[in-house]
Structure 1
Amino acid sequence: MASNLKKLSCLPFFFLIFFFFVTISSAELCNPNDKKVLLKIKKAFNNPYILTSWDPQTDCCHWYCVKCNRTTHRIISLTIFADDRLTGQIPPEVGDLPFLQTLMLHKLPNLTGPIQPTIAKLRNLVFLDLSWNGLSGEIPDSLSTLKNLFILTLSFNKLTGEIPSSLSELPNLGGLRLDRNQLTGQIPESFGYFSGEQAPDLILSHNQLSGKIPSSLSRLNSTSIDLSRNKLEGDASMFFGANKMIQILDLSRNLLEFNLSEVVFPQSLTSLDLNHNKVYGGLPPVMTELKLQYLNVSYNRLCGPIPVGGDMQSFDLYSYFHNKCLCGAPLGDCK
């Protein structure tokens, strides 16, 4: 009897503890201003299925596509991707999430219209990915104000106009992808003067860029450069050099014309694609010392024997054919 009374006397305390934990677990952590902004974004996107969890009666720190800071509980990441049922344009409210570090709107084919200028208000942004959408218009010059930006990806859209020269003012930029758009004009001369300690990887392929590559890009020391499938002319030898860090260089399908015999190949080079240009000269023997994993110099004006050794004979004839008078394995014998 005494033991039963003792158990009963513990019940109020147990219920008190239970009530305390229920109250804590049900407390709203998400900042109310952030929550209002997210709900406006959902409405602007026509309440797509992917945002079903964005219920105003629940804590927005637990919503799908959203991440909160564990200490401040402010929204730091918004990543919406792979949903063809999301429609509309990027709403101006995206600029009202002041602590946002990551903004990814990716593979949303029915996301149209321009890049929202208010994105420039997101001064804490580190990662901006607006790729594989239906965005159009010009790249806003105001993106150069995002001084913390490390990755800028705008590829696979319908963007037009020239590349803003001000993008070189991004001091922390490690990667710039503007490929698969309809960009025109020349590569900005300022891209030889990126303000950061390390030049970003530069992917500008599959556009309509034209003219000569600025000589200032000889200062560019990126690990990956892809300018393929444009209308670029003239000399591109500035990307080579003994002190360069370049690993992947793709200049294919342009109108480039320079003497490959005279360039100095960096030892870091692992992939080189020059196909469909007007490159002349020959393949220097020093290429046998490179650790090449990919090589394509087809459809140029090269002459002379293919150097024997290294990885040069590991590539098939399609890497070398359709040149002026290139010869030797894997092509036919030199006469």
Structure 2
Amino acid sequence: MGSLFFFYSLVCFVLLSQNFSSSLVQHLCSPNEAFSLVQFKQQFSASFAKTSWNESRDCCTWDGVTCDMLTGYVIGLDLHLTNLSGSIHPNSSLFQLRHLQTLNFAYNNLSGPIPYSIGNLTQTRELNFGYNHFTGHIPSTISKLKHLTLLDLSSNSLGGEIPDVFSNLQELVNLYLSYNSFIGPFPSSIVRLASLESLDLSINSLSGPLPSNVSILQKLVDLDFSHNSLNGTIPSWMFSLPSLYMVELHHNLFNGLSDELKLNPTLGRLDLSHNQLSGPVLRSLQNLTNLVNLDLSSNNITVDEAIPIAFPSLEVLQLSSCELKDLPHFLRNLKTLRALNLSNNKIRGQIPNWFSNRRWDSLFHLNLSHNSLSGHIDLSHYYSLVSLDLKFNFLEGPLPSAICNMSFLNLLDLSRNNFSNSIPSCLGNMTQLTVLDLRRNNFSGSLPPLCTQITSLATSILNGYQLMTTIILNGNRFEGRVPVSWLNCVGLEVLDIGNNAITDTFPASLGTLEELQVLVLKSNKFHGPISTKLKFGFPKLRILDLSHNEFSDSLPAEVFRNFKAMIKDDTNKGEIRYMKRFDSFFDVYEDSVRLVVKGNEIELERITTIMTTIDLSSNHFEGVIPKALKDLGSLWLLNLSHNNLRGDIPMELGRLNMLEALDLSWNRLTGKIPRELTRMNFLAFLNLSQNLLVGPIPRGLQFNTFDNDSYGGNLDLCGPPLTKQCGTSDLSLVPQPLESEGEDEAYFFSGFTWESVVIGYSFGLVVGTVVCSVMLKAVKPKWFVEFFEGLIPHKKRRPTKRAQRRQT
């Protein structure tokens, strides 16, 4: 009996298996839905990136398509990052897929309004249209999608008021509307979503107060209303919801906290920075015992030292730009602090002992910059620091040797203080150091021997990315030579040692630093030629400033041919980014440099990654301007002024289409101003003054905007904007020296116009005739003959150029 039952069960199992298999074959992708998908693909065929969408195959096997395994209906369509562009028509076949549960079009180039037909997809649970270019309003038909758990419309160009269409979406868990242009009051229907856990309305233009009484959002965990124009007081429900962990209200217009503040102990992250809060805000928040991250920066808060404030779990505290006048005493009670930012306040005087002498075992990031701190600083208890920022204070004395104990230090910014004496050599052994900024102090002695080991400044890789690195020692009293150890800093991108007393030849060996983008050696005592005998690379160099030194000799053309990063590259056209060095809990170190831009010395607080400049001014360079400069098509600024450059201005410079400033003043340039220079469409500053240029000034485009100052000191230039009119004589008829004549003779004659030659010749003829007549009447005709015989040279070989140069 048992065997018969087993056999019967086995037969049933086989039959059921066959029926199940046949059902799988029968329930493939619905022909109607397959047809709808094909039609949708044809609408975007020019940009559609899914090659597997072939009509001969089952649509359930297509990339991005998910089907129900029993019914064969399409329940998921994931086309994010597929290069979709254009608009979605309201009658699109997309809206015939009535069984869709997930629809993801994120990270494409879709534009136009969101079709009202979206309401037809009533089974949809996840709708993601984020990171596109949709415009217009949120369609009211969204309210029909009652099963939505995720709605992401962030990073589009949607506008108008946020409609009250969310009341029906009671299953909604995540709502993201950030990075749009929504205006008007806070939508009241949102606060009635009982299932909501994440709500992001940041970076819009919402205005007015928040609702005063909200109790339904019991599951809300993350809330971000930052970067709007919300005002009034912050209501108490912001701190009393039982699940709330993160509240981001920064960059609004809130002016206070509710008097009936009921604090929520689960709150871990609170950012109220960049508002209009005032008074004892910290005291109002002191019962947030689980708070880990608190940011009250850019408010006008006060600290009541009479009331103890603990925050037993606090790890990150930011109180920058809060008008604080002293270091808050409650800091002594913060045992778990990892990052402290008190920058840009009015804290003055010496750092108190209770702050300096305390053991900061867990403190990794300390920023006291932009205050008025003075005196010496004790760093013996900060050995765990990863970043230390003390710039813009009045701290003085030598750099404490205790800094050598900070083995984890990544960033050290002591710029714009009064530190003095030499730099401890141990900086070269700090294996994690990535940013060193000591500019504008009174440090002296030799340049520090950095990168003496294989350090982070040398070849550091963090999480697969090479660390960006910077050395800035500008504006001190360093002397001597560039240390050889710096050649180990192979990851270095910015090197600025300008405005010191360094005596050295050009450090061509730094050309082996293939990542170097900014090199500033200005205002030192560098001398000699720019040597090309050593290995000269600098393939990524974009900013070169050698001005105000004693460099000499000619400008080697091969030097400029190596500047590959200055050659025009259309792949980065229009892309403007900034050089950022270091990202900590609250700081991003951005490289800055002081350059002469369009005739004025300015501080560039941020360096764009497309800026390219060459400043070789105020040296002793001679010879001609290399034509190889024409290849630097991305060059913005070129300054060769105050040198001894000779010859013509190369017409090839007219190919520098991106050039905005050109300064060739105070040289010995001759010839005409090439008409080809008028092709430089972006040229906003031009200085050709104090040269020996001749002829009419070219007119056209940007040249019509320059005034007299651009041409002063060239006595033989004529035409607008100068008052001197050009004559009728053809300047092209000026006799040119033969090729066999010396270079110095060519330079000498090129400074004279035809008119000056004629006048000089005529004047000399008259004077010579008078002198001759007098001499013929004088006594001792033999002496007269011998005198003139001595003036007439005997026929001899012309000296070489080198001999001529030696004689002069």
Q: Which has the larger radius of gyration?
A: 2
SS of equivalent to 1:160: strand
1:255 alignment partner AA: Q
Conserved? CA contact 1:163–1:183, under 8 Å: yes
State how far apart, in whole Å, the 2-side matches of 1:306 and 1:147 are. Answer: 44
User: Are residues 1:252 and 2:283 paired?
Assistant: no
- 1:77 paired residue among 89, 102, 106: 102
Cα offset, 1:182, TM superposition: 1.3
Which residue in the other structure is 2:140 paired with? 117
The structural deviation recorded for 1:294 is 1.9
Show the 5 A alignment for 1:30-179.
30=30, 32=32, 36=36, 48-49=47-48, 61-71=60-70, 73=73, 74-84=99-109, 86-108=110-132, 110-179=133-202
Corresponding residue for residue 5 of structure 1: none
In the alignment, the residues of structure 2 paired with residue 184 and residue 46 of structure 1 have an alpha-carbon distance, to the nearest angstrom, of: 42
Distance 1:177 1:265, change over 3 A: same
The offset of 1:220, in angstroms, is 3.1
Distance 1:262 1:120, change over 3 A: closer
Q: 1:176 and 1:239, CA in 2 relative to 1: closer, same or farther beyond 3 A?
A: farther
Counterpart Cα distance in 2 of 1:225 and 1:322: 25
In the TM superposition, residue 212 of structure 1 has moved relative to its aligned partner by 2.1
Structure 2 partner of 1:205: 226
By how many angstroms is 1:296 displaced?
Answer: 0.3
Q: 2:290 corresponds to which residue?
A: 268
Matched, 1:224 2:249: no
Unaligned runs of 5+ in 1: 1-19
Aligned length in residues: 308
Q: Is the 8 A contact 1:300 1:322 kept in 2?
A: yes
1:34-75 Cα shifts (integer Å, max 9, x gaps): 974x67877888975257766777655555555444455332
Measured at CA, do residues 50 and 255 of structure 1 come closer, stay the same or move farther in structure 2, by a change above 3 Å?
A: farther
Name the SS for the 2:143 alignment partner. Answer: helix
- Gap change, CA 1:197 and 1:183, over 3 Å in 2: closer
Is 1:67–1:78's contact at 8 Å kept on the other side of the alignment? no
Alpha-carbon distance in 1 for matches of 2:34, 2:145: 13
Q: Percent identity?
A: 30
C-alpha contact (below 8 Å) 1:236/1:256 kept by paired residues:
no
Instruction: Tell me if the contact between 2:206 and 2:230 (Cα under 8 Å) persists in the aligned partners.
Output: yes
Greater relative contact order (Cα 8 A, min sep 6): structure 1 or 2? 1
Note the 1:183-332 alignment, pairs <5 A: 183-190=206-213, 192-193=214-215, 195-221=216-242, 222-235=244-257, 241=263, 243-259=264-280, 260-282=282-304, 285-287=308-310, 289-290=312-313, 292-302=314-324, 304-308=328-332, 310-311=334-335, 314-316=338-340, 318-319=341-342, 321-322=344-345, 328=352, 329=355
1:289 is displaced (CA, Å) by 2.2
Q: CA deviation at 1:147?
A: 0.5
* Distance verdict in 2 for CA 1:181–1:269, change over 3 Å: same
* Change over 3 Å in CA distance of 1:106–1:210 after alignment to 2: same
Could you say if the C-alpha distance between residues 31 and 266 of structure 1 is closer, same or farther in structure 2, counting changes exceeding 3 Å? farther
Q: Give 5+ residue unaligned stretches, structure 2.
A: 1-19, 74-98, 356-365, 375-808
Shift in Å, 1:145: 1.3
In structure 2, give the amino acid aligned to 1:29.
C
Q: 1:66 to 1:258 in 2, by over 3 A?
A: farther
Cα pair 1:136 1:158 within 8 Å, conserved: yes
For 1:266, the aligned partner's letter is L
Query: Could you tell me whether the CA contact under 8 Å between 1:42 and 1:48 is conserved in 2?
Result: no
**How many angstroms apart in 1 are the aligned matches of 2:162 and 2:42?**
25
- Kindly state the Cα deviation for residue 199 of structure 1 after the two structures are TM-superposed: 3.3
What TM-score results when the alignment is normalised by the length of structure 1?
A: 0.76
- Bigger Cα displacement from structure 2, 42-51 vs 200-209: 42-51
> One-letter code of the match for 1:208?
S
Q: Give the Cα–Cα distance (whole angstroms) in 2 for the partners of residues 31 and 220 of structure 1.
A: 50
Task: Supply the AA of the counterpart residue of 1:177.
Answer: D
Describe the superposition over 1:291-313 as per-residue Cα deviations: whole angstroms up to 9, x where unpaired.
x3321012224554242254576
The one-letter amino acid of 1:199's match is L
| SS in structure 2 at match of 1:184 | strand
TM-score, with length taken from structure 2: 0.34
- The question of whether the paired residues in 2 share the 8 Å contact of 1:126 and 1:149 is answered with yes
